[in-house]
Amino acid sequence: MLAGSEWHDEDLVFAQPSGRPIDKKTNCDDWTRLLQLAGVRNVRLHDGRHTTATLLLSENVHPRVVMELLGHSQMRTTMDIHSHVMPALAREAADGREAWLLIAKATTTATRDDSGRPPEGERPGHRGGAEGTRTPDPHTARPS
């Protein structure tokens, strides 16, 4: 190690270059300086941790990844603390599905005439592809 004989092994995850514990005042000063450089308001370091988790979850980063980054031992801890993000994500997912369904409906109705019948040659229930080339989806296939 670079500290050589000056190294003090205290089995710390975060330490000074000498291996000694990080000084709380120095850590706080470094954080404040970083916030000033970034041009954002001064918040506690713990608030920055919470904001990071919230932003990651709102960007659809898997909760397990967020859990590991935060150092939580269980995903439930992460989700209990940051569960306020989930209703917004659920709304976003629902809005996305709604748009997808509207696009699918528009595409389907655009291929039919005013009678609502399928175009010539299209068989009701046929999902496309050459005959016999599609593997039925066991979740949606109807018994024959």
Q: Residue 125 pLDDT > 80, yes or no? A: no
58/35: higher pLDDT: 35
Among 33, 37, 36, smallest CA distance to 25 is for: 33
Which pLDDT belongs to residue 20?
86
Q: Domain map of the chain by residue range? A: 1-42, 44-108
Q: Which of 38-42, 46-50, 100-104 has the highest mean pLDDT?
A: 38-42
- Asked if 22 and 15 count as a contact pair (C-beta separation under 8 A), the reply is yes
Q: Residue 105 pLDDT > 70, yes or no? A: no
Q: Residue 24 pLDDT > 80, yes or no? A: yes
pLDDT in tens, 53-97: 888 888 888 889 999 998 889 988 888 887 766 666 667 767 766
Which pLDDT belongs to residue 35?
93
pLDDT in tens, 11-21: 877 788 888 88
Beta bridge partner(s), residue 15: 21
Helices within 59-118 (DSSP H only): 63-70, 75-82, 85-110
